[in-house]
A and B are shown apart, each in its own frame.
Chain A
Amino acid sequence: MINVDWQAFTPWSALGGGALIGLAAAGFVLLSGRIAGISGILGGLLSGPKSDQSWRIAFLVGMVISPLISWALFRLPAIEINAGLPTIVIAGFLVGVGTRYGSGCTSGHGVCGLSRLSPRSLVATITFMVAGFVTVYLIRHGLGD
């Protein structure tokens, strides 16, 4: 049985923040003709043509300074990272390799791909979601207790 944590559930900020993410992806495809997929934008710096580098870097800089803008305009929401450093290193490496082989992450396949009704992105999204559910289950409930 699923036991919903009503205290933690934040439906309005989730929908509102999600709409902002959708707006960003919409603006990018309509104005620039590109997919707002973070792993592809970052990974393309390592493989793509030199002429593509300035827009890729500009996108990433915008993301990285977003907490500063958020802090200046409203407040900076809480960020809590409980995983230990060795876990962080392994997880980061897996996310890097996996998103490149899978050609996308939560933004490229999840947000943009599902919006495009792409069957390939639907398969990718279901696959990484299930892998995420299983991994968290094993870490929090499967191993050790």
Chain B
Amino acid sequence: MKDTFVSFMVGLLFGLGLLLSGMANPEKVLGFLDLAGAWDPSLALVMTGAVAVGLVAFTIAGRWRYSMLGNEMKLPSNREIDKRLVIGSLTFGAGWGMAGFCPGPALVASGAGETKAVVFVAAMIAGMAAFEFIERARKRA
């Protein structure tokens, strides 16, 4: 129960951060990605602000076995830099550049009632389902 409530509050705070920073607005994100146009550096400062706070928290969390709510720490253990990581990230980056949406901002903008954001989220879930389908088929083969 506490776990669910914390997740809800974190999701809410994350969304508010995206809204305040302007990152829920794809036009602003594209303003950063458009190096050859009129360049808006804001996204770099969003990352700076987030990582500055994150560094402190993850340095502490890295030494723990259990979280404050008593969960086992679920930090990624995969350290391999492989083709999947690179090709996946290239694919993601291409989609990001096409619309200016990554997953978080798309969810927030759909909550703001933007129809195109809702369509984006539906297509994104379809993409994730395609991944599941392909990976399951591959494991069976």
Contact = CB atoms under 8 A, between A and B. Distances in A.
A143 interface: no
Nearest to B1: A54
**Chain A CB within 10 A, most for which of B46, B62, B72, B126:** B46
B17 A34 contact: no
Contacts of B79: 118-120
A42 to B, nearest CB: 6
Interface residues of B, number: 117
Interface in B1-50: 3-28, 30-31, 33-43, 45-50
Interface string A91-103: 1111111111111
B65 to A, nearest CB: 9
B36 A141 contact: yes
A111 B6 contact: no
B4 A70 contact: no
B13 A97 contact: no
B84 interface: yes
A59 to B, nearest CB: 4
Given A5-B38, A25-B14, A95-B101, A100 B131 contact: yes
B116 A42 contact: no
Interface of A: 2-5, 8-11, 13-36, 38-39, 42-43, 46-47, 54-56, 58-70, 76-83, 85, 87-103, 105-107, 109-120, 123-125, 127-137, 139-141
17 contacts: A14-B21, A14-B42, A19-B49, A19-B50, A20-B14, A22-B53, A26-B56, A33-B67, A35-B75, A61-B11, A97-B131, A98-B127, A100-B88, A107-B103, A116-B62, A120-B79, A141-B36
Interface of B: 3-28, 30-31, 33-43, 45-58, 60-62, 64, 66-69, 71-76, 78-81, 84-104, 106-114, 116-117, 119-132
Given A38-B102, A101-B88, A123-B89, 13 more contacts: A2-B35, A8-B38, A32-B3, A32-B7, A33-B69, A39-B103, A56-B7, A67-B112, A85-B119, A102-B84, A117-B58, A127-B86, A127-B93
